[in-house]
Chains A and B, each alone.
Chain A
Amino acid sequence: MNISKLKNGIGALVQPVVAILLGLLIGAIAIAIVGGDISQTYAEMWKGAFGSFYFFTNTLSRATPIILVGLGTTLAFRAGFFNLGAEGQMILGGLCAAITALYLPGPGWVKMIAALISGIVAGGIWSAFAGWMDAKFRMNLLITTLLLNYIASLFAGYLVAYPLKDNTGSAAMAQTKMIDHSAWLPKLFHGMSLHAGFLIAVVGAVLLFLYMRFTVSGYEVRMLGSNPLFAAYGGVQRGKLMLYSMIASGGFAGLAGAVEVLGTQYRYLDGSLSTPGYAWSGIMATLLAGSHPLGTVASSLLLAALQTGGMGVERNTEVPLEIASVIQATLILFVSAKISYSFIKRKKARAQDGSVV
């Protein structure tokens, strides 16, 4: 490890830290405006997120789907594709996992693994559909993924409201039946909400990091994202790589849905995956981490902590829960200025080369 490398590492960390501090500053201003006590509010936020072992595991389990979605988006963003369809992919993944776990015969662990795989496949296919439309018909990916979100969520809503509706209980909610206990993802600690999905997410992050860093196709993905012209010149087939990276990206989102269904909800309930905004938090985490797989884990934990901390604030102070989303959004805005910072550096370097913009 030489000094310049170390310097780069620290430099990469300075920007997000500054953004976090600025985000907290804006949050403090917002708290002051609504007449709350700033230090008390932040103390409650900390307590709500990390105050006890129970809250800490709660934060981790909230971070689980965010990490998985974030990893999928990381891969897509690195390849240069704006996959904003994580929500739809996650919903279909969760739905398919629930259906598989409910209707596949066999022992519990078979059901569980089949459900996880079917979630990955469903998310991957839905995402690949958008990728295929872009590669084949030049339909803008950003737009198609957004539109497919609505279609997926309405379709899943229809299925659980009519053919798959749970008519056994007294509650007339649009949801499937409850999955058999044997197919649930095991809890990591007794009595806590944290489940094995968190381990899957962490392992996924490490694998994605190794893939992007050390394999040939990982290099091709990064090259396609950072300079598509150079990648084309180097013989990278954009259409094929796009399809693969979209499948993988959607697969992660689908896995996020499956894990949430098998580990927390135990059934697919209409709106239970979209209302907490897991998919959009995952996209935020990716932006915050600058599309770095391990960084995405850290930023997902941060966002999850803000969200669970916000609930603590809501419970114990006058300041509304939405303070968390204000801090999150300002964070992301400041981080997007970070991207510009590296761009300015690049521009300066180019000016030294004497080439035009």
Chain B
Amino acid sequence: MDQLFDVSLFNSALRMVTPILLAALGGAICSRAGLFNVGLEGLVLFGAFFAIVGNFLTGSVWLAVLFAVVCVMLFSLIFGYLSIHLKANAIIVGISLNFLALGLTSFCLRAIFHVKGAYYDKDMKGLPQLDIPLIKDIPWGGGVISGHSPLVYLAIILVFVFQYFLFRTVRGFRLLAVGENPVAAKSLGIKVTRIQYGAVLISGLLCGLAGAQLSLGQVTMFTENMTSGRGFIALVATMLGQSNPLGVAASSMLFGFMDAVSIRLQGFSMPTNFTNMLPYVVTLVMMFFFKNKSYVQEARKANESSR
């Protein structure tokens, strides 16, 4: 057991959790504004791809992150336009956005880099690893917390920022009101669509960062469908955490930890199929403790169902 739970396990858990956490925060903001964003997976994939493209074009890591964020925000606007403006079913738009991301990124991979499957350039620089001066020297915790990319720290800070924003500021309260009851919010003079567009853009920004961390954080490369379900896991984290930033952080951490454990267990000569299954099974078990809202309430609120 000592071998299993050592410093590097928690260190890698923190690193793996970051893309999920960032995307899940984006999902939480959207769902608080009354939009269920199933397109997280696709948006993160776009982020990962455009971060590499930005890096390829500009040669600067920070411009690459900026490029990714801007591009993903544009794509999140498509989601916003269809689901807010045209009132299309947000779930369906989200699903189709995922298809678009998968198709467009693999097409562009062929078109821009002329490779199939994966793009890797050993000269390309990834995000720097920050060693935090004082914390680094703390015996155990230092090894866990120090030595990550700046986006990891940004994600942790953003959890508290969003917690404060949602529950302590007027703007945050308006956003909650829009999600809770758009008609009542509108009657109070709150600009419902503007706030929803804002939430969608914020989630685009966060997904862009998540993608950048994914493709530039640890290894500097892009592979086809490299999110491989992380966006959906972020969606699960959003729901498990009841769209509450702290709760979302806790449930993302759980998943990241399980992910790290599963990779570690492979060293213990267990079949990889079972170790890879661990995060999904644990998430499923956790969902037992999470009670969904009654479907009647949901139906009343949305008053339009799937199709």
A interface residues, Cβ below 8 angstroms from B: 30, 33-34, 77-78, 80-82, 84, 133, 137-140, 142-144, 146-148, 150-151, 154-155, 157-158, 161-162, 225-229, 232, 238, 280, 283-284, 287, 290-291, 320, 322-326, 328-330, 332-333, 335-337, 339-341, 343-344, 347, 356-357
Say whether B295 contacts A143, CB under 8 Å. no
Give CA–CA (A290, B88) in the complex, Å: 13
Say whether B306 contacts A144, CB under 8 Å. no
Known pairs A143-B235, A280-B99, A329-B103; A320 contacts B92 (CB<8 A)? no
Say whether A80 contacts B110, CB under 8 Å. no
Give CA–CA (A34, B109) in the complex, Å: 11
Known pairs A139-B290, A330-B100, A340-B87; A151 contacts B307 (CB<8 A)? no
Name the A residues within 8 Å of B288 (CB-CB). 137, 139
A148, chain B: closest CB distance, angstroms:
8
Give CA–CA (A324, B106) in the complex, Å: 11
A109, chain B: closest CB distance, angstroms:
34
Say whether B306 contacts A332, CB under 8 Å. no
Name the B residues within 8 Å of A226 (CB-CB). 305, 307
Say whether A228 contacts B299, CB under 8 Å. yes
23 contacts between A and B (CB under 8 A): A34-B110, A80-B305, A143-B232, A147-B280, A148-B284, A155-B273, A158-B273, A161-B273, A162-B271, A228-B305, A229-B296, A280-B99, A320-B107, A325-B107, A329-B99, A330-B100, A335-B96, A336-B82, A336-B88, A336-B92, A337-B82, A344-B86, A347-B87
Known pairs A143-B236, A225-B305, A238-B295; A339 contacts B88 (CB<8 A)? yes
B3 at the interface (CB under 8 A from A): no
A62, chain B: closest CB distance, angstroms:
17
Across the A-B interface, how many residue pairs have beta carbons closer than 8 Å?
A: 164
Say whether B296 contacts A138, CB under 8 Å. no
| B137-159 interface code vs A (CB 8 A; 1 in, 0 out) | 00000000000000000000000
Known pairs A158-B271, A158-B273, A322-B110; A339 contacts B89 (CB<8 A)? yes
Chain B interface size, as a band, is: 35 or more
Say whether B281 contacts A82, CB under 8 Å. no
Closest B residue by C-beta to A139: B287
B291 at the interface (CB under 8 A from A): yes
Give the residue of A147, A323, A325, A333 whose beta carbon is less than 8 angstroms from that of B93. Answer: A333
Say whether A140 contacts B87, CB under 8 Å. no
Give CA–CA (A290, B89) in the complex, Å: 12
Give CA–CA (A77, B305) in the complex, Å: 9
Give CA–CA (A225, B103) in the complex, Å: 30
Say whether A34 contacts B280, CB under 8 Å. no
Closest B residue by C-beta to A332: B96
Give CA–CA (A82, B303) in the complex, Å: 16
The 6 A-B residue pairs with the shortest CB-CB distance in the complex, in nearest-first order: A325-B103, A158-B273, A329-B100, A320-B110, A340-B88, A340-B86
Give CA–CA (A147, B280) in the complex, Å: 6
A170, chain B: closest CB distance, angstroms:
23
Say whether B274 contacts A154, CB under 8 Å. yes
Give CA–CA (A148, B99) in the complex, Å: 20
Give CA–CA (A147, B278) in the complex, Å: 11
Closest A residue by C-beta to B275: A154
Give CA–CA (A138, B298) in the complex, Å: 12
Known pairs A80-B307, A143-B287, A228-B295; A336 contacts B107 (CB<8 A)? no
A265, chain B: closest CB distance, angstroms:
20
| B102-124 interface code vs A (CB 8 A; 1 in, 0 out) | 11101101110000100000000
Closest A residue by C-beta to B276: A154
B277 at the interface (CB under 8 A from A): yes
Give CA–CA (A157, B277) in the complex, Å: 11
Closest B residue by C-beta to A320: B110
B264, chain A: closest CB distance, angstroms:
17
Say whether B97 contacts A333, CB under 8 Å. yes
Known pairs A138-B291, A143-B236, A147-B236; A336 contacts B93 (CB<8 A)? yes
Name the B residues within 8 Å of A229 (CB-CB). 296, 299-300
A187, chain B: closest CB distance, angstroms:
32
B87, chain A: closest CB distance, angstroms:
5
A197, chain B: closest CB distance, angstroms:
25
Q: What 17 new A-B contacts, CB under 8 Å, besides A140-B239, A325-B103, A340-B86?
A: A137-B288, A140-B292, A158-B271, A161-B273, A225-B307, A283-B95, A284-B96, A320-B110, A325-B106, A326-B103, A326-B104, A326-B107, A337-B82, A339-B88, A340-B88, A341-B86, A343-B88
